[in-house]
Structure 1
Amino acid sequence: MADKWEIKRRLADAINDHDVPRMLDLFTENAVFVSPVGLAEGREQIAWIFEQFFKGFPDLHLTVWYEATGTDNPLVVEWTGTGTQTGPFLLPDGRELEPTGRRITLRGTCASFIENGRVVTHREYFDQLELYTQLGLHLAKDDPASA
């Protein structure tokens, strides 16, 4: 059986290759993926989330710059993601942001729980506001309620 860190590194490689089938082979059938963009349960939903990012950022690349190798489970890494939004990107309200051509640099971390050679739970953490700001989006203040 592959060592847990080997699986974690294979997942990073598959993400960087945008190879969804290879990524999914590393997850259990009922794996859970948690991120600022939402919760995905099972391989089909996990694939959908990654496909949205790959569609919007065809050159998306994660550079892992720290591995907390002193832990057994979860396996924690810090990374920097870079890419250019040259495709449509799904926003939280269901609209698609048309390609902006803007380059992003996003810092994040993730924790993977691995059992029997497969990822059971994977949690990504990054600043969603940082991502949207780099894409040229801004917070909007709602109209104040009538008194």
Structure 2
Amino acid sequence: MDDLQLVRNEFEAWNNRNLDDWLAHYSDKSVFDVPGGVHLEDLDGARMFWGGYQDGFPDNSVVERRLFGQAGQVLLEAVFEGTHTGPLPTPDGQMIDPTGKPVRVPFCGVYLLENGTITGHTLYFDQMEMLTQLGLVN
């Protein structure tokens, strides 16, 4: 399987809410870097990443806009859509109570891949855009 298909399969597992399948795409030494200075490592870090977004937005989905890459590097441009009906952790460890509001937030994910697994995942999105859609800032 090529790197582009591996990343497509990763976010399909995400959209299907299949944690075991999603984790199977990641190396046990994977690294996640997320807005707010959040740095997560290994499969425990992957589970934390999963829980934050899947618990906060249980009906969420990732909608692909563009996917391209080469030589172990893939860029995904997509939109995260969901309704905030669960607790959402902040970068400093606090929780945002459910607002019941829908979000539609564009994002980019940069993936590093080696030997058929994802070893790095850096996520970029506009945090203020998400907070505005949640009604938490004007």
Could you tell me the TM-score, scaled by structure 1's length?
0.86
The 4+ residue runs of structure 1 with deviation greater than 6 A are: none
Q: Say which SS state the counterpart of residue 30 (structure 2) adopts.
A: strand
Distance 1:52 1:109 in 2: 18
**1:1-147 alignment runs, 5 A limit:** 2-37=1-36, 38-69=38-69, 71-138=70-137
| Rg (Cα) greater in structure | 1
CA shift at 1:6, angstroms? 1.6
| Deviations 1:34-64, CA, capped at 9 Å, x for gaps | 1115111001111112111111100110001
Q: Say which SS state the counterpart of residue 65 (structure 1) adopts.
A: strand
What code does the residue aligned with 2:44 have? Answer: E
Given that residues 4 and 67 in structure 2 are in contact (C-alpha distance below 8 angstroms), is that contact kept between their aligned partners in structure 1?
Answer: no
Q: Say which SS state the counterpart of residue 18 (structure 1) adopts.
A: coil
Distance 1:39 1:92 in 2: 10
Count of matched residue positions in the alignment of Structure 1 and Structure 2: 137
CA shift at 1:19, angstroms? 1.5
What code does the residue aligned with 2:56 have? Answer: G
Query: Percent identity over the alignment?
Result: 28
Q: Say which SS state the counterpart of residue 68 (structure 1) adopts.
A: strand
CA shift at 1:93, angstroms? 3.4
Given that residues 84 and 102 in structure 2 are in contact (C-alpha distance below 8 angstroms), is that contact kept between their aligned partners in structure 1?
Answer: yes
Could you tell me the TM-score, scaled by structure 2's length?
0.92
Tell me whether 53-62 or 89-98 shows the greater mean CA deviation. Answer: 89-98
What code does the residue aligned with 1:129 have? Answer: M
Q: Say which SS state the counterpart of residue 92 (structure 2) adopts.
A: coil
Structure with the larger strand share: 2
Q: Give structure 1 stretches of 5+ with no counterpart.
A: 140-147
What code does the residue aligned with 2:82 have? Answer: G
What code does the residue aligned with 1:55 have? Answer: D
